[in-house]
Structure 1
């Protein structure tokens, strides 16, 4: 019987991994790759990253809806006022760098999968946008009115966990006196500035300042800021 012949043939899967590694090395070193190939490789990496981020957003969304207390609480409170929310109410999409999520009375809640680096950040974004949804359904918010918009932004920033001290440290803000209020006001102003009916930062500041005390004190549907 003939001796078995040893072979170094790699499997197709191993070859693909080797090819990806080789391309990555060429991209990092700049050797053996034309500018067009570099562009195509960057585009491929971008697509792969976007696909991964979208899948991660969907997985986190399902987990948070099923198990997360603040998310579950807001879904229950929305149901009490006649607004049903399910997985289809949240859309994972890519966004620009100015936002992590958004709410539209017509489209529902947007989760910017390329801006959500952790499940905790996604939780805060989902609760934030559900506060907007709650306000819209319960209080009939006129989103073209800057005072109405400012009030909902104040409540969402305050109640979602977005202004936790740990988040502020990460952003580079180290205020120890009235840190929460300062964060809520700052982030509400940034959001109102993006309203197409707002023409300046000063106009956004005026709207936020004019309603801050009453809207900050309104923690519905929470009993208090958690």
Structure 2
């Protein structure tokens, strides 16, 4: 038996199918870029980049918060910083996008930078947090002059050595395979690379010279740890 409602039902089904087709068509256009105007392409690119950036920021902040509460080495550094007169909190760790030359940073004026788009794991985020906290510790405990290449080099040696940044598994990931004094070699290399990013210490050969001169004394200074972590 045909009812009066059937034509309307068919129209609704047809309309629903048409909407599904339009959504599929637009999705395909955005994926392939075919059929989009330059304005639409730019808008889609911006939207995609913003979504990725928001996701990276949320992930970075989630890892940061968990590490501040549960990581033994991060908690130890928080306590050591407080004892050194530089108590810090979650708000002092900023998750922001960076270029591909770094995974974190420290500034006496702005605190600790965590590069949200550079972390490949929570362990990487942990090492980065401790690395930058070591710089803050040196700044508070030893009154580092960051315009002095020797001061800066010493802090870079200590941060690379004590943060976990040069553990064997991290070196394997970077493509460095070695067994004899691998840790020391990594610390020197990482310290030189960081020092070269200081405009005052970027003259050819200067970073290598300075790191070499301060290496032994700074490498052997494991404060606030009893030994290399």
TM-score between both structures, scaled by the size of structure 1? 0.89
Q: 1:22 to 1:193 in 2, by over 3 A?
A: farther
Cα distance in 2 between the residues matched to 1:27 and 1:181: 50
Taking only aligned residues, the RMSD between alpha carbons, in angstroms, comes to 2.2
CA contact (8 A) 2:94 2:112 kept: yes
CA contact (8 A) 2:195 2:202 kept: no
Cα distance in 2 between the residues matched to 1:2 and 1:224: 85
Match of 2:29 in 1: 26
Cα offset for 1:36?
A: 3.1
CA contact (8 A) 2:195 2:207 kept: yes
Cα offset for 1:30?
A: 3.4
Cα distance in 1 between the residues matched to 2:71 and 2:47: 34
Cα offset for 1:197?
A: 0.7
2:191 corresponds to 1:171: no
CA contact (8 A) 2:112 2:132 kept: yes
CA contact (8 A) 1:135 1:152 kept: yes
Match of 2:72 in 1: 69
Match of 2:156 in 1: 153
Equivalent pairs, count: 220
2:217 corresponds to 1:209: no
**1:149-169 Cα shifts (integer Å, max 9, x gaps):** 000000001111111111111
CA contact (8 A) 2:156 2:195 kept: yes
CA contact (8 A) 1:189 1:201 kept: no
> Secondary structure at 2:201's aligned position in 1?
coil
Match of 1:223 in 2: 226
Q: Which runs of 5+ in 1 are unaligned?
A: none
> Secondary structure at 2:127's aligned position in 1?
helix
Cα offset for 1:24?
A: 5.0
Q: Specify which of 95, 98, 103 is matched with residue 100 of structure 1.
A: 103
Cα distance in 2 between the residues matched to 1:97 and 1:23: 33
Match of 2:140 in 1: 137
Q: Specify which of 69, 79, 84 is matched with residue 82 of structure 2.
A: 79
Q: Which runs of 5+ in 2 are unaligned?
A: none
**1:180-215 Cα shifts (integer Å, max 9, x gaps):** 111110010000001121132410111100000111
Q: Specify which of 191, 195, 207 is matched with residue 192 of structure 1.
A: 195
Select between 93-102 and 135-144 the one with higher mean Cα deviation: 93-102
Cα distance in 2 between the residues matched to 1:27 and 1:186: 44
Match of 2:40 in 1: 37
